[in-house]
Amino acid sequence: MAHLIVLEKIDGNPVAWRCSNCGQSFSARGKLTTQERHEKVTSAFKAHMEESHKADASVRAMASAAAAPLPD
């Protein structure tokens, strides 16, 4: 399952991430609280997963059920 990887921190706080599956970048810069930053990036990543990786999950589930090798 894809997850966020921290790319950049400012003053010890993460401000930029990337998707572990495809490398798409996500950022939450500006005057945000830690909670606001977390909510913004989490929401964007959730939408990204639904749009970009939903098909990946379906293919993996079908391949697993059929005991077939996964496509590259």
pTM score over 0.85: no
Whether residue 70 lies inside any domain: the answer is no
If you average pLDDT over residues 56-65, what whole number do you get? 53
Q: Range of 20's domain?
A: 4-65
Dihedral of alpha carbons 67, 68, 69, 70, sign:
negative
For the record, the structure tokens of 15 come out as: 């401000």
For 3-59, how does the pLDDT look when each residue is reduced to its tens digit (9 = 90+)? Answer: 999 999 988 889 999 999 999 999 988 889 989 999 999 999 999 998 888 766 555
Q: Give the integer Cα–Cα distance in Å for 53 and 70.
A: 15
Whether residue 9 lies inside any domain: the answer is yes
Whether residue 47 lies inside any domain: the answer is yes
Whether residue 72 lies inside any domain: the answer is no
Instruction: Look at the chain and report how many structural domains it folds into.
Output: 1
Whether residue 71 lies inside any domain: the answer is no
Question: What confidence score (pLDDT) does residue 70 get?
Answer: 44
For the record, the structure tokens of 70 come out as: 């996964």
